[in-house]
Amino acid sequence: MVTIFDVILPLFTLIVAALLTIPVFKLIRKSNYKTGLSLAWVLSVFIIAGLTIANLAFSYYSTANPEPLNLTLDGSSNPVASAFLVDALSIYMAIIMIAIAAVVMIYAVLFVNSDDRPSDRYIAVMIILTGALIGAVLAGDLLTFFIFWEAATAAAAFLMLYRKTTFSLSATLKYLIMVIIASAFVLLGLSIVYSLTGTLNYIALRGAIGGIAGSDLNLLIISFIFIAAGYAIEAAIVPFHFWLPDAYTAAPAPSAAFLSSLVDQGSYYIIIRILLFIILPPSVGGAFNWTLMLAIMAALTIIVGNVLALIQNNIKRLIAYICVADVGYNLIAITSTTQLGLTGNLYFFLIGGLTTALAFMAIGIINRYGFRTLDDFAGVGKKMPWVSLALVIACLSFAGVPPLGGFIAKYFVFTAAISADLAWLAIIGVLTSVIQSAYLFRLINVMYGKTPKNGDTTPIKENLYLLIPVFLLVVAIFILGLFPETVLHLVQPIMNQLPWTPIIP
């Protein structure tokens, strides 16, 4: 039986660990084994946090076919009480987030100089950010989600600003301005929703929407447009995407890996929750038809993301535009409003997070030696064979080459679109994937087929310890591509809890 304590325990663990990180790191700096002790601390934190999430999952699935649990902090059924929702979707998201965050944190500890004074705050903020994201996916009402998500975006701004350069300051300022605008949209939408329904609770809201008609329904549609616009900004959906490339290019490699794999990939979780679990698809009695609007946004996002990536010279910025395109592919899956589409979306969330994290982590290592542009990457495959191999795997997964996880993810997405009579959207997705393959194979060709302009082909000694978390992600992408059923088993309970009868392909 799940209690509110089981839900709060992971959040409490991560918050307390973040507060303790700064004094612990001060003690670690006095030791001769700074990196080892720092790594031991971070691993212990994420092992304990992982165990608390495992406890939540096992408690929830201790009964066959469990129903979603709406737990309030005061134990009441008050529709305005702050609530947490424990269901198959929230547990899946929490598991994925803690797993990916743990790998990226290992990389961050090995990447960041432990003697650097802000390093303790940097690690502490990453731990807090993990807790805020897990709190967001476990939230049971729109206000609680908003609070956790705002905490996550504030922490994300610190991670972007870590280097304190002019470029990072400009990128962070642009991000904060967009977040403030997004928050204003969301708060306006929430206020209208509450005035119409008297609740922001997910489950209560779904029931209340069904009884709204006439002018109130039009006002409700406007409110959800405001909410969708707010989260579209934070999810970097075109035309609200322009903050993301600057932010990820300016951020240190661990920050870019963390933000792209968790914040960016997780930002459209609330879109899934609102459209598929609260408003419901129009084909099964949803309050209004949102599929065409989302389909157009998906098409624009994948086209703009891939076309702009095609013309990039800075490799890190190129990957940032792939992150924009990936958001579009996920929107295709949501638009299909089918079991297959939701399965593809959740699988894409995992694979997309792993692949973007892998790409930024590998590029971060290469950037350390001054290789940043496409010309700089000439011959890098021979100079740094191991990290180059990892980047090639990431590129092939992005391009959807079998048997990597990216192939299965795109297969689910495009098949779901076709099954929902959105063949035109699937065609756009396939064509933009061809464009994506073109610039990614161009990068691979430069790395292995070109010679540096200065003619220097001297091998560079690679940090084998830093490659450990990198190749953990490489192995995961291979395994999930060869055995996708390992993820599908986790996704199936989510299909069983859908509050609507999906369109079966």
Residue 308 lies in a domain: yes
Distance in angstroms (rounded) separating the CA atoms of residues 294 and 341: 14
State the pLDDT confidence band at 290, using cuts at 50, 70 and 90.
confident
* pLDDT at residue 355, as a whole number: 94
Helix, strand or coil, per DSSP, at residue 368:
coil
Residue 470 lies in a domain: yes
| Number of Cβ within a 10 Å radius of residue 17 | 23
Q: Quick check: 27 pLDDT over 80?
A: yes
Q: Quick check: 163 pLDDT over 80?
A: no
Q: Hey, what amino acid is at 321?
A: Y
Model-level pTM? 0.92
| Residue range 442-453, pLDDT digits in tens | 999 999 988 887
Residue 223 lies in a domain: no
In terms of Cβ atoms closer than 10 Å to its own Cβ (0-12, 13-18, 19+), residue 62 is exposed
Angle at 309 between CA 104 and CA 342, to 5 degrees: 60
Q: Quick check: 505 pLDDT over 70?
A: no
With a pLDDT cut of 70, the percent of the chain lying above it is 95
As a whole number, the mean pLDDT across the chain is: 87
* pLDDT at residue 434, as a whole number: 93
More confident residue, 198 or 267: 198
Q: Tell me how far CA of residue 424 lies from CA of 202, 334, 414, 427, in angstroms.
A: 33, 15, 10, 5
Cβ–Cβ under 8 Å, residues 288 and 249: no
* pLDDT at residue 115, as a whole number: 60
Residue 186 lies in a domain: no
| Residue range 73-115, pLDDT digits in tens | 776 666 667 889 999 999 999 999 999 999 999 999 988 876 6
* pLDDT at residue 78, as a whole number: 65
Q: Quick check: 136 pLDDT over 60?
A: yes
Residue 459 lies in a domain: yes
Please count the structural domains in the chain: 1
* pLDDT at residue 504, as a whole number: 40
Residue 344 lies in a domain: yes
* pLDDT at residue 289, as a whole number: 77
Give mean pLDDT, residues 387-404.
93
Residue 197 lies in a domain: no
For 390, the domain range is 280-505
Distance in angstroms (rounded) separating the CA atoms of residues 180 and 26: 34
* pLDDT at residue 500, as a whole number: 60
Q: Hey, what amino acid is at 29?
A: R
Cβ–Cβ under 8 Å, residues 503 and 420: yes
**Lookup result for tokens 């290592």:** 365
Distance in angstroms (rounded) separating the CA atoms of residues 43 and 21: 12
* pLDDT at residue 441, as a whole number: 93
* pLDDT at residue 337, as a whole number: 80
State the pLDDT confidence band at 503, using cuts at 50, 70 and 90.
very low
* pLDDT at residue 452, as a whole number: 83
Cβ–Cβ under 8 Å, residues 70 and 203: yes
Residue 358 lies in a domain: yes
